[in-house]
Amino acid sequence: MRELTLNPKIAAIAQKLAGTTLRLWHDHLLIKRPQNNAPTEWHQDQPYWPHHNSTHPVSVWIALCDVPAEKGCMSFIPGSQKYTQLSPQNLGVSRSLFSLQPSLEWDPTITIPLKAGDCTFHHGRTAHTASANQTNDPRVAHVIIYVDEVTTYDGTPHVTTDPLNLTPNQKLQGNLFPPVQQFEALNQA
């Protein structure tokens, strides 16, 4: 997973899409159990993150198995990243995003089934959902999240930053948040 997370080619694509220098925010596996009958509700990711100065966050969602629609693939609302002031959505409430920004409910969506090894890139404010896994196999994806290199911690609790004793306005840096320019060297270490 380390090699995938610190892959300089993936990071270079993310950085090109962002149009600015980036650093790693974090990575994680997303596993949707078989026959779970629970979609992931529409939401934006960035409102959950404790960041200042990150206007170009990019998430890379890498399928580690085939992910057809019935297995929990993702759908997106193109252009929804322009809504930069929405508060965190409640993933337990199906219409939470649309109660915050009603116009999004009528915007066109795009659904993207993936083969194992395929990936999507999306802005941290792009609204997205994942359908329920109706198959007998788990859906497994690896997610890598990049933020602007100048990103600072805003003091909001988050599982990634809580154990680090960061102070508000402290720049995210160091071994846990390396700039993508260092990925090549980190892979050789």
The predicted structure's pLDDT at residue 180: 95
Residue 44 belongs to domain with CATH number: 2.60.120.620
Asked whether residue 102 carries a pLDDT value surpassing 90, the answer given is yes
Mean pLDDT on 133-154: 97
Asked whether residue 189 carries a pLDDT value surpassing 90, the answer given is no
The predicted structure's pLDDT at residue 185: 86
What's the whole-number average pLDDT of the chain? 95
Distances (CA, A) of 154 to 48, 50, 98, 147: 11, 5, 26, 14
Ranges of beta strands (E only) in 3-105 are 22-32, 40-43, 51-52, 58-63, 74-76
62 contacts: CB under 8 Å, gap ≥ 6 = 4, 10, 117, 118, 119, 141, 142, 143, 144
Mean pLDDT on 172-185: 92
Could you read off the pLDDT of 42-100 as tens digits, one per residue?
A: 999 999 999 999 999 999 999 999 999 999 999 999 999 999 999 999 998 989 999 99
Percent of the chain exceeding pLDDT 70 equals 99
The predicted structure's pLDDT at residue 123: 98
Length of the chain: 189
The predicted structure's pLDDT at residue 115: 98
Asked if 33 and 138 touch (Cβ cutoff 8 Å), the reply is yes
Could you read off the pLDDT of 11-22 as tens digits, one per residue?
A: 999 999 999 999
How many domains, the chain? 1
- Short-list 188, 187, 151, 147, CA closest to 15: 147
Q: Which domain does 53 fall in, by range?
A: 2-188
Q: Rounded distance, CA 133 to CA 139, Å?
A: 7
Helices of type H across 6-74: 8-18
The predicted structure's pLDDT at residue 184: 85
Asked whether residue 32 carries a pLDDT value surpassing 90, the answer given is yes
Q: How confident is the model at residue 188 (pLDDT cuts 50, 70, 90)?
A: confident
Mean pLDDT on 157-164: 94
- Short-list 125, 116, 162, 160, CA closest to 18: 125
